[in-house]
Amino acid sequence: MPNADQSPVTYASYLRLDALLDQQAPASDSHDEMLFILIHQASELWLKLCLHELRAARVSIASNQLRSAFKMLSRVAGVQKQLIHSWDVLGTMTPADYLSFRDLLGTSSGFQSQQYRLIEFLLGNKSVAHVERFRDHADAYRNLQQALVEPSIYDEALRALQRHGLDIPSSYISRDFSQPYEPSREVEIAWSKVYRNTERYWELYELAEKLVDLEDRFQLWRYAHLRTVERIIGRKTGTGGTPGVPYLAKVIEQRFFPELFSVRTAL
């Protein structure tokens, strides 16, 4: 039976709203600083859900539970829509609005988001340099070191291809996962067989398309980020010392699942 002394669960208590809504602490009198804080805090919450789903999807793929992975990957794609639209809201802030509190940000930058880096590592964009940037933050450094050496979702997808009898080079099945992924002609050929024989490899075909959706949304998020930054600060250097727009433009060129795009030309 419930403890008579225990307070009833309410909407506010279950969601811990008192604590959650007490986390916004503008450092200036600028009206738009609240928008800036909330957009970034909400984004980190959505990223937390993305990590939760992507990690579970990786486990499902590794254990041949592909249909379970599809649901999780679709959910991440839905979250990505929310993240993309958040830039539209932030874009209502003008350069003058941002300049009214920008100096108070110091060297803080989204470039320092641990969760964003963990998601990139999960998707296969590994970088020892990005880990080292967190050396002074013990928990984040440990988390990123662990993620660096773990297989990405794409690594597990390639293992799934091999389990289904497709020819994936052994060097791609057992490799140093801390190193960036390098495209492979053999892997492209394997995906080509999936796309040419969709009835035989239906689940692998659906997995491929879920991954393409994931990358497409991620690239749209990156592009929306670039356009919002350019709209608000132009070509200024970012607060974290990054080149700003030129850096973001270069990042957009990165691919997580290269053969899933090159195979379209091959077909």
- Rounded to whole angstroms, how far apart are CA atoms 209 and 167? 20
- Rounded to whole angstroms, how far apart are CA atoms 196 and 227? 38
Minimal CA–CA distance to 217: which of 25, 22, 28, 46? 46
In one-letter notation, the amino acid at residue 216 is D
Q: With contact defined as beta carbons under 8 Å apart, do 164 and 195 qualify? A: no
Query: Which residues are within 8 A (CB) of 3 and not within 5 positions of it... i.e. 6 or more apart?
Result: none
Q: Is 242 marked within a binding site?
A: no
- Rounded to whole angstroms, how far apart are CA atoms 217 and 220? 5
Query: Which residues are within 8 A (CB) of 247 and not within 5 positions of it... i.e. 6 or more apart?
Result: 238
Q: Is 225 marked within a binding site?
A: yes
Q: Is 239 marked within a binding site?
A: yes
Q: Is 10 marked within a binding site?
A: no
Q: Look at residue 212 and give its three-state secondary structure.
A: helix
Which two three-digit tokens encode residue 226?
């670039």
Q: Look at residue 28 and give its three-state secondary structure.
A: coil
Q: With contact defined as beta carbons under 8 Å apart, do 176 and 252 qualify? A: no
Binding residues for substrate: 98, 102, 239
Binding residues for heme: 225
Binding residues: 98, 102, 225, 239
